[in-house]
Structure formats: structure tokens, C-alpha cells
Structure 1
Amino acid sequence: MTVDLQEKTLEQTLVYEGGFLKVRRDTVALPDGKEAIREFILHPGAVAVLALTEDRHLVLERQYRYPAGREFLEIPAGKIDPDEAREATARRELFEETGYRASRWTYLGTSWPCIGYANEQISYFLAEELQKGERRLDEGEFLEVVTLPLEEAFRLSLEGGICDSKSLVGLYWLRAYLEGGLKGAAL
């Protein structure tokens, strides 16, 4: 027998609205009928791109992340703009941040990175058949583009050199896709 674990929204309150994120405090009815408060971040959604060169080098970015107070080596990613399709966001972010365009795209899947406190979803795409161009960073965006042999990126993900969850999930799915254990969807 399956137990109903659903929580029912009784009241929604927007407690903060910034330029990028919103924070909501909801009152919910629990499965046992009691009430509880749920505070969480509303996120517009994001994409992450695993851009693979013909010689099996992975395109990465090194950038400073203010909330963590340090630099990270990570896969290209960005938030979805209003009314923008996920694939369009992936193409835009890859080009803006790295200067690369890809002729072949594969959708790998979507993850929920912070289910305890945010509704963010990240959709992952493999970009292949790359052509290098001039990148167009957003104002106030600073990052260095780095390419590493794919096996070195996998090794760094196991040793802590690549350690953000978005990149770890992406590398896990990329390896599974390349080994035939994950079916992607060609775009």
C-alpha cells in the first residue's frame, strides 16, 4: 500500500523578490492534517552544457562564485530567460560564455539540485561539432575558458578539482551517455 505524502498548499506569501530569485513562505497541510511552514526559493530554471571538442576535450569555465567565496572549475551554464526554450538557452549560454557554437546537440536529462529549499531544475545538453568564435560575456561576468582532456575532467571530478553539483551530475550523465548507459535525445 502506498502512503500519500503530499502536502497541500493553504497559503502562499512572497517574502522577497529580487532581480533573479524570489523567496516564498507557504503554509501547508501535512499528510496527518497538521500545518507547517515551507520556505523556499523560486528559480527560473537553468541549463548546463557539456561541450565536447573533436579531440575529446571538455570545455570548462573557471570563475569566482561569491556565495562560496572561491573559484570553481565548472561546465558552462546559465539561467533560462522568460519565454525561452531550454535548448535556446543552452545554445545562447555556450556561445556567450565560451564563444563556441555546436552543430550537434543532445538532451541528456534534467536534475533538481536543491529540492529541500528551491524549485530549480537544470537541463543538461551535450554539444558537439564545435566551432570557435568570439564570446560575448554579460556585463559584470568574468570567467576563463579552459579545455581539458575528458578523462582528466572525469579524474578531477573524483579528486575534488571539479566539485559543484551541476558539473558532477553533468559529468556522470556524459560518461553514462558515452558508454551507452544513457539514451539522450538528439535535437
Structure 2
Amino acid sequence: MRSSHPSERDPLEEIQLESNPVYDGVLLKVRRDRVSLPDGGESVREYITHPGAVVVVPVLPDGQLLFERQFRYPLRRAFLELPAGKIDSGEDLLDCAQRELREETGYIAGQWEYLGVMHPCIGYSDERIEIYLARELTHVGDALDDGEFLEILSFPVDEVIRAVAEGAITDGKTIAALFRALPALGLSIGAKSQD
């Protein structure tokens, strides 16, 4: 893996020459930039700016993972995914994770662990998703947003890993968060949980 000193310029870096808004929506904003390429040429880059999000891997007292089933309009079907949501302007990352877990699933957690960050769509967006593991869950009742409809389900870790391998779980943030959570759960890729 290539690692460069922060003061070194990456030889692949593209330099922004001009930036213009194309679309300014409620959640997403589209920009079109003119850039200088590494060879001195120029090109255009269109991309979506996103406020960022969190995803939570909630572990129930029995070791099962808490999931939600939610209809996702762009793909016109329901998906199994981990609880997640957009970071509000100025919101602390952990506060956002706690809020989303409570609102969507009705659970609060007594123990939180930050697992890292993932970038789900690097070809066309600056979105980042911060990953948290939540343990010592207690159910206190959900507080869904208006117009939000979810089914809350739980599955053993083995079943979740199998669902990913078989293509039943295809949500990118869920797969990445699960991968990042496995070591914290005492597992590795290909290992089976001891339920």
C-alpha cells in the first residue's frame, strides 16, 4: 500500500480549477468542477456532496445482530440493513449514532465502540459513513420520523454472514460495517460464531 507524507503531493492528485453548483436539493447537492489532471490536461468532474452518515452494528444481549427491513425507493424494493442515518449539521458523530439507533429501533446502548469510516460511492460522491458497534442494548421504544416505515429483525451472526455470501444482503454500508465489526465480535472472515 502506498502511503505518503502529508506534505508530499500525491502524483495522482487532480487540482480543482473551478467549481459550480448544478443542483441544490434537500439532502444532496451536485457540483461540476473543472480540474487539472496529473499530466497537465484538464477534465470535468461531476459529483454529489453529502453531509455524511453513521451506521450502527447493534448487538443484542443474546449475541444476535439487530437489523431493519426498509423499502428503498430508488431500487423499488425492501432491503435488510443495519440502522443508519444522516449526520445533522454540527452534530457529534456518537450523538448521531445514538439518536439513529433509538429512533429507528427503539433501543439504547450502554456500550459504544467506534470502528472506523467507509466511503460508499467514491466515484461520484464525497459521502462518508462512520461505523459504530453498540452493545448492552435496552429497548425503550422507537421514535420513527414521519413517513418512515421499518420492520425490526434480529439474526445470529452466522446467518448474517451467510446472507451476505449468498447475496441476500447487498447493502454496501451494512456489508462494510459487518466486516469492520467482526474482529470486535471475536470473529474473522470465514470464522463461525459460537452461538
Q: TM-score range by the shorter chain?
A: over 0.9
Which structure has the highest strand share of the two? 1
Deviations 1:33-88 (A, max 9, x none): 11100000000000000000110111000010011111100000001000001111
- Match of 1:38, SS state, is strand
Q: How does 1:56-95 map to 2 (within 5 A)?
A: 56-95=63-102
1:180 positional shift = 6.9
- Quick check: 1:17 aligned with 2:40? no
Q: Which of 3, 11, 18 in structure 2 is aligned with 1:4?
A: 11
- Which amino acid in structure 2 is aligned with residue 10 of structure 1? L
1:174 positional shift = 1.3
C-alpha distance in structure 2 between counterparts of 1:177 and 1:104, whole Å: 12
Q: Percent identity?
A: 49
- Which amino acid in structure 2 is aligned with residue 83 of structure 1? G
Q: Which of 128, 132, 149 in structure 1 is aligned with 2:156?
A: 149
Structure 2, unmatched stretches of 5+, are 5-9, 189-195
Q: TM-score, structure 1 length as denominator?
A: 0.93
| Corresponding position of 2:133 | 126
Q: Superposition RMSD on alpha carbons, in Å?
A: 1.3
| Corresponding position of 2:53 | 46
Q: TM-score, structure 2 length as denominator?
A: 0.89
- Which amino acid in structure 2 is aligned with residue 88 of structure 1? D
| Corresponding position of 1:112 | 119
4+ residue stretches of structure 1 with deviation over 3 A?
none
Deviations 1:83-126 (A, max 9, x none): 00111110000000000000100001101110000000001000
Q: Which of 140, 150, 173 in structure 2 is aligned with 1:166?
A: 173
C-alpha distance in structure 1 between counterparts of 2:67 and 2:107, whole Å: 11
- Which amino acid in structure 2 is aligned with residue 63 of structure 1? Q
C-alpha distance in structure 2 between counterparts of 1:88 and 1:154, whole Å: 28
How many residues are matched? 180
| Corresponding position of 1:184 | none
Structure 1, unmatched stretches of 5+, are 182-187
1:27 positional shift = 0.3
Q: Which of 84, 89, 108 in structure 2 is aligned with 1:101?
A: 108
| Corresponding position of 2:41 | 34
- Match of 2:74, SS state, is coil
